[in-house]
C-alpha cells in the first residue's frame, strides 16, 4: 500500500495486479510505503478502513481518495496458479505443482477451498464499508496506459515501471464448463472488472 499524503491518495496493493512494480517506481515519492506484514501491505478496503482511515482522520484529513487495480478474473487466477508453481512451495499445501490450471480453477470454485486455491477474491478486497469507505478510482490491470496517465497527472511525475515479481510461464487452458462455472460462481468479480473499465 502506498500513501501520497499531499495528493490525498492511497493506492491499495491488490495481490497479482502488478503492485510490486508500482511500489518500486512510486515508493520514493510516497509519504508512506507499507511493505510488511503482508496483511497490511495487501490491506483490503475493510482493513484500510479499520486501521489507516482513523489514523489519517486524527491527522486532520477527512477524506483520502482510494485507488485499486483489478485484473480480469481468469488472468488473475492464472497469476496465482503460476506463482504457486514456484519450486520454493514444492511439498507445501499451497503448491500447485503437478496440477493443471483447470483443476486449480475447479478447486477455487468449491465452497471450501483447499489451501492451494484459497487466494481470496478481488470483489471482497474492494468491498465498500457501511460507513461509506470505498474505492474511488478503479482501474483495469490490462489498461496500464490509463492507470499510468492518472498517476502521472495526480502525482505530477513521469513513471518508468520496472518488471517485478514475474511468475513462471504455464499453460492456462480452461474447459468451457469450468469457465462457465467460474463465471457463475464469481459473477461479482467479473462485474467488478467490467466496472473498472468505466471508472478512473
**Tally of domains within the chain:** 1
Pairing between β-strand 65-70 and β-strand 9-11 as defined by DSSP bridges? parallel
CATH of residue 156: 3.40.50
Q: What b/e readout covers 8-34, taking b as 16+ CB neighbours within 10 angstroms? A: ebbbbbbbbbbbbbbbebbeeebeeeb
Q: Which domain holds residue 15?
A: 2-196
- By the 10 Å C-beta count (0-12 exposed, 13-18 middle, 19+ buried), 59 is classed as exposed
pLDDT string in tens for the chain (200-residue length): 999 999 999 999 999 998 888 999 999 999 999 999 988 999 999 999 999 999 999 999 989 999 999 999 999 999 999 999 999 999 999 999 999 999 999 999 998 999 999 999 999 999 999 999 999 999 999 999 999 999 999 999 998 887 655 655 667 889 999 999 999 999 999 999 999 988 65
pTM above 0.75, yes or no: yes
Identify any residues that bridge with 37 across adjacent strands, giving them in sequence order: none
Question: Mind listing the pLDDT tens digit for each residue in 126-176?
Answer: 999 999 999 999 999 999 999 999 999 999 999 888 765 565 566 788 999
R_g over Cα of the chain: 17
Amino acid at each position: 500500500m502506498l500513501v501520497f499524503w499531499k495528493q490525498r491518495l492511497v493506492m491499495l496493493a491488490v495481490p497479482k495486479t502488478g503492485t510490486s512494480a508500482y511500489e518500486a517506481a512510486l515508493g520514493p515519492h510516497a509519504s508512506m510505503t507499507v511493505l510488511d506484514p503482508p496483511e497490511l501491505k495487501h490491506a483490503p478496503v475493510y482493513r484500510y478502513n479499520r486501521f489507516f482511515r482513523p489514523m489519517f482522520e486524527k491527522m486532520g484529513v477527512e477524506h483520502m481518495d482510494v485507488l485499486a487495480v483489478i485484473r480480469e478474473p481468469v488472468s488473475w487466477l492464472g497469476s496465482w496458479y503460476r506463482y504457486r508453481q514456484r519450486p520454493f512451495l514444492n511439498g507445501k499445501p499451497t503448491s500447485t505443482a503437478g496440477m493443471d490450471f483447470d483443476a486449480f480453477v475447479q478447486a477455487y470454485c468449491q465452497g471450501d477451498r483447499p489451501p492451494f486455491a484459497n487466494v481470496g477474491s478481488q470483489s471482497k478486497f474492494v468491498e465498500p464499508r457501511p460507513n461509506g469507505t470505498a474505492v474511488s478510482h478503479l482501474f483495469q490491470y490490462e489498461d496500464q496506459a490509463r492507470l499510468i496517465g492518472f498517476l502521472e497527472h495526480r502525482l505530477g511525475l513521469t513513471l518508468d515501471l520496472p518488471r517485478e515479481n514475474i511468475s513462471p510461464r504455464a499453460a492456462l487452458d480452461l474447459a468451457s464448463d469450468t469457465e462457465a462455472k467460474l463465471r457463475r460462481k464469481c459473477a461479482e468479480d467479473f462485474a467488478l472488472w467490467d466496472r473498472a473499465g468505466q471508472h478512473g
